[in-house]
């Protein structure tokens, strides 16, 4: 892990996940509004990059403003927009697209010059699916029929769950299995960790030195790895200390922070399993952690030692249990 300077100072754009990073349901994550206002005031571009395709950028921006977060519709980049671009680049302008999802997905399809439809009778060239409240059997059935007729199948994202204030609920990755099971056709995925959403973000922001900020290893961090850019994992959403310590190479973030407040802190040097007052070591097939200080520094030290010991593989949970006991 890097370190030695205020984290945000090295980047011109923050590509921020929303669920679990900026908000949980209707409520802001603690420290998020303050941290984002501070970055915005310093001239850092904020882009809210979400796999959630259910709402329009305008609706998302309005929600962020209500929470005290600086945002406009132009700052929001969704997997719906990425999915619509994937389709638009392959078909004729005005082509019919069956939208199995909500208003955010329908709007994105229209903005790309395509025609959203709701039935397979209209012979759409593509089916685009995204999560939406109230997604019903009838619309899923139309998606099945269209895919069986030969329409390309694009999923806004494949997140199996999504974090909410009540806990993790089924995500689009769970819902797309209805069409997959009924047709045997796997969709092409536009959202994180696949390249289309990152490409969409760069096109819309013009970022030169972006930092991806997320709470999930399998979408946010893997997406950053796939794109070859730095990443910050915050512990306010899905990922846990165990997930980090047992992460495979593509799921290892550049930085780890408790929350978005880490953006404005001097990131400590993490070297050879040492960080702050902590020292992590690997011996006899197990990871050990000794010292004292901030818990997050202990986790950073332990991750450094764990990833060095694991190399291109991933450690098993039992190998890091003593570290989890120390960190509490």
Q: Provide the annotated active-site residues.
A: 17, 19
CA distance 149 to 129: 16
What is the SS3 assignment for 280-303?
EEEECCEEEEEECCCHHHHHHHHH
Rounded to the nearest angstrom, the gap between the alpha carbon of residue 63 and the centroid of all alpha carbons in its chain is 18
How far is CA 147 from each of CA 9, 138, 150, 178, 197, rounded to the nearest angstrom? Answer: 47, 14, 5, 12, 23
Taking each continuous run of H as one helix and of E as one strand, the counts in the chain are 11, 18
Residue 212's Cβ-count burial label (10 Å; 0-12, 13-18, 19+) is buried
CA distance 202 to 38: 22
How many CB atoms are located within 10 Å of the residue 170 CB? 13
Question: The tokens of 23 are what?
Answer: 């908000």
Do the Cβ atoms of 160 and 172 come closer than 8 Å?
no
CA distance 114 to 94: 4
Q: Judging by DSSP bridges, how do beta strands 96-100 and 76-78 pair with one another?
A: unpaired
Do the Cβ atoms of 113 and 88 come closer than 8 Å?
yes
How far is CA 151 from each of CA 91, 95, 98, rounded to the nearest angstrom? Answer: 11, 12, 9
For 9, which DSSP code? Answer: G
Question: The tokens of 240 are what?
Answer: 């846990």
For 76, which DSSP code? Answer: E
């Amino acid at each position: 892990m890097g370190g030695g300077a205020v984290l945000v100072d090295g980047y011109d754009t923050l590509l921020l996940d929303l669920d679990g990073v900026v908000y949980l349901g209707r409520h802001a994550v603690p420290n998020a509004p303050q941290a984002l206002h501070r970055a915005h005031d310093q001239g850092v571009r904020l882009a809210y990059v979400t796999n959630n395709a259910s709402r329009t950028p305008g609706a998302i921006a309005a929600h962020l403003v209500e929470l005290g977060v600086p945002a406009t519709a132009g700052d929001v980049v969704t997997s719906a927009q990425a999915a619509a671009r994937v389709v638009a680049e392959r078909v004729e302008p005005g082509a019919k697209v069956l939208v199995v999802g909500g208003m955010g997905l329908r709007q994105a399809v229209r903005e790309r010059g395509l025609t959203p439809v709701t039935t397979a009778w209209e012979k759409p060239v593509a089916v685009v699916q995204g999560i939406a409240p109230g997604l019903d059997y009838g619309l899923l059935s139309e998606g099945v029929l269209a895919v069986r007729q030969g329409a390309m199948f694009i999923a806004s994202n494949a997140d199996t769950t999504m974090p909410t204030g009540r806990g993790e609920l089924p995500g689009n990755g769970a819902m797309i299995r209805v069409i997959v099971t009924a047709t045997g056709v796997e969709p092409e995925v536009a959202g994180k960790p696949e390249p289309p959403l990152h490409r969409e973000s760069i096109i819309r922001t013009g970022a030169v030195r972006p930092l991806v900020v997320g709470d999930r290893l399998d979408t946010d961090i893997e997406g950053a790895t796939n794109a070859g850019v730095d990443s910050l994992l915050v512990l306010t959403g899905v990922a846990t200390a165990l997930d980090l310590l047992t992460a495979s190479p593509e799921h290892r973030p550049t930085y780890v922070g408790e929350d978005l407040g880490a953006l404005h802190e001097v990131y400590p040097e993490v070297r050879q399993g040492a960080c702050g007052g902590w020292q992590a070591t690997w011996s006899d097939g197990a990871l050990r952690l000794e010292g004292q200080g901030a818990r997050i520094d202990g986790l950073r030290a332990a991750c450094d030692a764990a990833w060095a010991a694991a190399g291109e593989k991933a450690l098993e949970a039992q190998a890091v249990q003593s570290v989890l006991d120390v960190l509490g």
